[in-house]
């Protein structure tokens, strides 16, 4: 979804190659999204491969969050956000293949590493194959779940620490729509454990109009 009149992004957007199955699915997803029914838009199209659908939407949400965060980078600095957190109770430490021991980082440093990490995965043809005839790895769903868990943390940080900045920029409706779409997708395919969603639990109930609070 193209949310902003200005096209500032945090990282270069990841594009899906034309002529691929994923490109066709992306066009289908955009058309369904245009109906305004987010709950329907996240559902696996009949007869389509689950892994292809997860791949297309992972790229899409990466681009959305990249764009959203890109608009508030001047407010998210080493000084304003010395720790990557979602309110006073939830702090996130970074670990990856190189950084085995979880490391305490500022929010901009954490998010920079996170976006680079996701970008590297999306560009890896062994994990996110774009060419016909190449299969997804056996652990693909696990990889996608880890990506979504970490992308959720960027939403959580923005809501807890930068919502006033986003409101000042007039982008709160875009953030809410993007996060609502994200959460419908997460729920449809059970991508994030409930305990990971606690920092935004009340907001999720409100946006998704849950009957049980």
Tens-level pLDDT at each residue, the chain (213 residues) = 333 334 455 565 656 666 555 555 656 556 555 556 788 889 998 888 899 999 999 999 998 999 999 999 999 999 999 999 999 999 999 998 777 789 999 999 999 999 999 999 999 999 999 876 678 999 999 999 999 999 999 999 999 999 999 999 999 998 999 999 999 999 999 999 999 999 999 999 999 987 654
Architecture of the CATH domain 52-207: Up-down Bundle (1.20)
Q: Which residue has the tokens 């009957």?
A: 211
Q: Is 101 within 8 Å of 95 (Cβ atoms)? A: yes
What 3-state DSSP class applies to 138?
coil
* Domain-wise residue ranges, the chain: 52-207
pLDDT at 155: 97
What pTM, to 2 d.p., does this model score? 0.85
Look-up of token digits 């997460």: 186
């Amino acid at each position: 979804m193209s949310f902003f009149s200005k096209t500032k992004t945090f990282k270069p957007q990841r594009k899906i190659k034309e002529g691929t199955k994923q490109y066709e699915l992306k066009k289908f997803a955009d058309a369904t999204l245009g109906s305004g029914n987010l709950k329907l838009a996240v559902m696996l199209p009949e007869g389509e491969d689950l892994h292809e659908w997860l791949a297309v939407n992972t790229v899409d949400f990466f681009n959305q969050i990249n764009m959203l965060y890109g608009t508030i980078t001047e407010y998210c600095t080493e000084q304003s956000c010395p720790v990557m957190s979602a309110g006073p109770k939830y702090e996130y430490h970074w670990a990856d293949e190189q950084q085995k021991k979880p490391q305490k980082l500022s929010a901009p440093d954490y998010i920079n590493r996170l976006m680079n990490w996701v970008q590297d995965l999306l560009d890896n043809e062994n994990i996110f194959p774009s060419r016909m005839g190449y299969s997804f790895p056996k652990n693909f769903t696990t990889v996608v779940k880890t990506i979504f868990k970490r992308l959720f943390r960027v939403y959580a940080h923005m809501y807890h620490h930068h919502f006033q900045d986003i409101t000042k920029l007039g982008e709160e409706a875009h953030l809410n729509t993007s996060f609502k779409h994200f959460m419908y997708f997460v729920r449809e395919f059970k991508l994030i454990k409930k305990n990971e969603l606690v920092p935004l639990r009340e907001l999720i109930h409100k946006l998704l109009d849950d009957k049980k609070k």
